[in-house]
Amino acid sequence: MNTTATAAPVTLSNDLLTGMEWGPAQVRSFLHLAADVKAHPDRYRGALAGRFFALIFEKPSLRTRVTFEVGIASLGGACVFLDHTVTHLGERESIPDVAKSLERWVTGIVARVFKQESLEQLAANAGIPVINALSDRFHPCQAFADFFTLEERFGNLRGLKVAYVGDGNNTCHSLLSIGARVGAHVRVATPAGYEPDPNIVAEAKRVVRETRGKIEILRSPAEAVAGAQAIYTDTWTSMGQEQESATRAAAFADYQVNDALFAHAAPDAIFMHCLPAHRGSEVSEAVMDSPRSIVFEQAENRLHVQKAILLTLLN
């Protein structure tokens, strides 16, 4: 690894469980590192040579698994994939026992789990970094990639108007918490009963007092989108909620991101989605496949941002 011209990773918490471990200044430094990783990948080649990672996945994955595996390999490391989609963590043996075993063999744990508590147990019992690759509460890797992508597109995140329309889920939580840290103006529109966690909203509102951002929780999609430069949505039914599909489809019927909703946005507004997307449900086919859609730029940037996460936590 050539260390003469690299952006220095900032020292952060040993784990990335929520994204709220990192303050605004640390997030700013982290995004700078991610930009350098993307612009100059050869500078970081071999940075994780001799490092091994366990990838624990309780849920299916395309972007998260591929970008972590490719990212680790491109940095010179190696990974072991542990498929827990059939036998979930804690069923065959306790999570503490899994964590205490893994810390003796690998350098870090990347976990995609159903319950945030599973991540917390892994982190509490392993003296190696634990990275949240998605839980029921947060999706920090995605949100960091999203705001990295927005900075590439618009040049400045402070005051940027981002409208999230749909379920107040894990992705929504991370957009609120990371958006607050970069000083964005994040508006969330959800139907009654599907709002983001009030504690996460309150934490984001505390942070924007420092960053001069803004957090709004609304009912009306049109109000949320008015003048927005980015419109974001996610699936109405997350993995593990399949039995609620019909109920959710009815509740979110007026929350589809389509051309009519886009008419309220800024002229240069772009569309974002963490994928996989369901055309005809949370987003119309016309919007999803239009030139204003940057969903695959988001997907690409997962690779660069996750490389930066690994470099930061293992510096």
User: CB of 11 within 8 A of CB of 33?
Assistant: no
Helices 24-39, 170-181: inter-axial angle, 10-degree rounding: 100
Q: What share of the chain is helix, strand, coil (3-state, %, to 5)?
A: 45, 15, 40
Question: Would you call 236 helix, strand, or coil by DSSP?
Answer: coil
162-191 in b/e burial notation, b at 16+ Cβ within 10 A?
Answer: bbbbbbbbbbbbbbbbbbbbbbbbbbbbbb
Contacts of 272 (CB under 8 A, 6+ apart): 146, 149, 230, 231, 232, 233, 294, 295, 298
Q: Which residues are catalytic?
A: 112, 139, 142, 234, 274, 302
Q: CA-to-CA distance for 17 and 57, rounded, in angstroms? A: 15
Q: How far is C-alpha 141 from the chain's CA centre?
A: 4
